[in-house]
Structure 1
Amino acid sequence: MNPYTLDDSLLQQFKQAVFDHDDFLINAYCDFNGENRWNLICSAKDWLSVSVNGLPYIDLNHEIDDVRSLNVAQLIMTYDIVVESVKKLLQVFDLEHLLKGDNSIFNKPVPDDRYFKQIRACFAAHPVDFDSTDGVKVKVKGSNQKPERYLASWSSDVGGNADYSVYLYSNKPGSDPIPFLMNFAQIHAYTAKRYSLLADIVKAIEEKKEMFSQEQSQRPIRRSANVVEQLQILLQENDVRIREGDGYHYQIKALIDLFTAPQEFNEQEQEAIAPYLRLLKPLVEEIYQRCKPCGMCQTRLYFDPPSLV
């Protein structure tokens, strides 16, 4: 089993926040300035789940050298998925990326994000074609001078002071190979530090939902003594505050159908139907009270009309 894993509880907090507030998130982000950010939230959530839950099963001690190299590549690409997913979520919720210029993990002249991409290039993403040996791109002077490109040897865990290493070869004749080293603990620390920003994203979801609820609570909902008219008002408010087909849309429509259904029954059946409809009226008030104080339900009201049979 791979010891370099990420805290599953943080992922669960994020997934729970998305689940608890999905009505709000869909309404707010399915068309955000012409962009479907809700789809981005779902994509990031899914791939974070794949990555965090799959990490423990990456075998870094496989007996075959080539398999170990591929598994190292898988580890690095999995970390990259986590980092990029968190980065995209920060953008969705307009949060500042506080670690954008951080270089505290690798302690290199370039930010950790750029150096990690160098590691990714050498060991996983495109080891046969990259433009730097240390994450710093060399500026080429003169239009006739071809830029220097680099290629990595196969990765190995044999010898050296690192967990894995490659040799970087230049496309320039006569250049000496350059060793490039990588430590599992470092790339794990780098990823875990950025993964921890999910806590800020969870907080942002809850704060934005609360802000939306406060804004909606300032919008009054008109009252009507007529139960059907009140339900139609609630249906309209529900569709405006959330969107048609979500929130209490189904429950309100079911109640409207029940209260407006033909009642051409005999006297005995009328005696059974009248108290049944009276029992449904408190549900109308309950929906009103749930919508009025917060603008969007914190909890779902499950409504299954009882059978008349």
Structure 2
Amino acid sequence: MQYEKIGEHIVTPLKVCQSHAGYYIGRLDEYGGPFSRNSKEYFKNLEEAKSNFLNGNWTPRDTGSIKISLDYNLITEFRNVVNEHEFYIGLLRDSNGKNKWNLVCSCMDWISVVAGSLHKLYDFNSDKFTVTLNLMQYITSVDILSEAITQLYRVIKGNDLHPLKTDKSIFKQENSTDDNYFKHLRAAFGIHPINLTSKDGTNKNNNRYFASWTSNGWFYEGTFSVVLYSNDPYEEDSVLELDLWDINKYALSRYNLLYDLISEVKIIINKHIKKYLEVPIYITGEPIDQLEVLKTENSKRFGNHDGYWWEIDIICKLIKSSSEEIEKLDLQIVNGYRNYLISLIPEIKIKLENLEYNDESLGDSYSFIPNQEYIITLDNNVEKIFIEYAMYYNQF
């Protein structure tokens, strides 16, 4: 038999080899033991392996650096885009009766955690127990990243059909998408290894499978395996392998879907702006009627309870208050303050038409309008509100 020298190792040329996981293209050492697996694929039988080897129908495995690097600037860009316009946040806060903004915030936080620290979890040189736990934490982190991206698609596009939903290019499983096969690896390598319904992620029967602890692979750095035991006394044990290179490619491909989500958010925002900038707000009649129109328009443009919802609501409440509710104040002061509040209506209208909002978008008027937190401290007592703010306004 011919041998070659790779570094300090004496090995065979590439040939068909066999392990518990199946047939593959690789090399043996001078003693006949496994040295490397060079094919990405495993083959079902010897004949298939030989045929693909001779015809060159096999895929070389990646063997470069397996440490992952997720560009943290990408999640920062996404966060900036969704936070740029107050109306987009408001619309998500009350979307068909659901607060989807809270979900978006949670997803952004956890994606930031994974993007910022996944590479720090790479420590697989310890004993087998520590390696098992470290790998479980690593896979769980990637799972959180993937699920967060899926959740963002549900919020932003209305479904979880992201562009890679049916992709099989990473794990190259004929009968399983990358998403489904990753879930199988996640289950076997730590999430619920003692209660598996399948040994390959697809073929389900009445059998149950139980995974061993994780062992470092002997092909390349970053390969791991577990033995799968069956509750069927006549079924032989099998080996399930995991290549960290593939896990990292899976993580990176899902993380990069943020580019698609950023584009989608910008499209939604631009459509919303174009739609409402072209629609003027017509208000006529009494101030109370005008405020009701503005409240409706505010809900369309900024969502319920966002934008100028609070300002419109408190102005309406104060204008409608009766003289009996504010006996302790001079009527001239009360009417002066009411007239001031009414004078803000045209300004709010213009701000709504222009989809313009920020914390001080009504200028100095904010000094004379009680905020929501302060109203709570006054127990929603109209007289107390007038005493506090009408007197304050009267001084200017």
Fold-level similarity (TM above 0.5): yes
* Equivalent in the alignment of 1:99: 164
* Equivalent in the alignment of 1:89: 152
| C-alpha contact (below 8 Å) 1:86/1:198 kept by paired residues | yes
Map 1:252-267; keep pairs closer than 5 Å: none
Aligned partner of residue 215 in structure 2, secondary structure:
coil
**Which protein is bigger by CA-based radius of gyration?**
2
| C-alpha contact (below 8 Å) 1:168/1:177 kept by paired residues | yes
The CA deviation at 1:30 is 2.4
The CA deviation at 1:6 is 2.1
Instruction: Structure 2 unaligned segments of length 5 or more: list them.
Output: 1-65, 321-328, 369-391
* Equivalent in the alignment of 1:305: 367
Instruction: Structure 1 unaligned segments of length 5 or more: list them.
Output: 141-146, 267-272
Give yes or no for the alignment of 1:65 onto 2:128. Answer: yes
TM-score normalised to the size of structure 1?
0.75
Aligned partner of residue 222 in structure 1, secondary structure:
coil
| C-alpha contact (below 8 Å) 1:4/1:184 kept by paired residues | no
| C-alpha contact (below 8 Å) 1:59/1:68 kept by paired residues | no
* Equivalent in the alignment of 1:195: 255
Cα displacement string for residues 287-306 of structure 1 (whole angstroms, at most 9, x for unaligned residues): 4443214xx33655445439
The CA deviation at 1:70 is 0.8
Q: Distance in 2 between matches of 1:65 and 1:131?
A: 25
Q: Distance in 1 between matches of 2:219 and 2:230?
A: 21
Report the CA distance shift for 1:257/1:185 in structure 2 as closer, same or farther (over 3 A): same
Would you say how many aligned residue pairs link Structure 1 and Structure 2? Answer: 290
| C-alpha contact (below 8 Å) 1:152/1:166 kept by paired residues | yes
Report the CA distance shift for 1:166/1:118 in structure 2 as closer, same or farther (over 3 A): same
Aligned partner of residue 167 in structure 1, secondary structure:
strand
* Equivalent in the alignment of 1:134: 200
Q: Distance in 2 between matches of 1:153 and 1:205?
A: 44
Give 1:46's match in structure 2, choosing from 109, 114, 121: 109
Query: Which of the pair is proportionally richer in strand?
Result: 2
* Equivalent in the alignment of 1:143: none
Q: Distance in 2 between matches of 1:238 and 1:35?
A: 18
Cα displacement string for residues 50-71 of structure 1 (whole angstroms, at most 9, x for unaligned residues): 3323323324245343222211
Q: Distance in 1 between matches of 2:200 and 2:144?
A: 21
* Equivalent in the alignment of 1:177: 237
The CA deviation at 1:91 is 2.1
Q: Which amino acid aligns with 2:73?
A: S
Q: Distance in 1 between matches of 2:296 and 2:181?
A: 53
TM-score normalised to the size of structure 2?
0.60
| C-alpha contact (below 8 Å) 1:150/1:169 kept by paired residues | yes
Q: Which moved more, 1:228-237 or 1:48-57?
A: 228-237
Give yes or no for the alignment of 1:214 onto 2:274. Answer: yes
Give 1:242's match in structure 2, choosing from 298, 302, 311: 302
The CA deviation at 1:285 is 6.1
Q: Distance in 1 between matches of 2:166 and 2:332?
A: 75
* Equivalent in the alignment of 1:75: 138
The CA deviation at 1:189 is 0.5
* Equivalent in the alignment of 1:290: 351
| C-alpha contact (below 8 Å) 1:156/1:165 kept by paired residues | yes
Aligned partner of residue 245 in structure 2, secondary structure:
helix
Q: Distance in 2 between matches of 1:228 and 1:101?
A: 55
Give 2:214's match in structure 1, choosing from 143, 155, 166: 155
Computed over aligned residues only, the root mean square deviation of the Cα atoms, in angstroms, reads 3.8
The CA deviation at 1:227 is 9.3
* Equivalent in the alignment of 2:67: 3
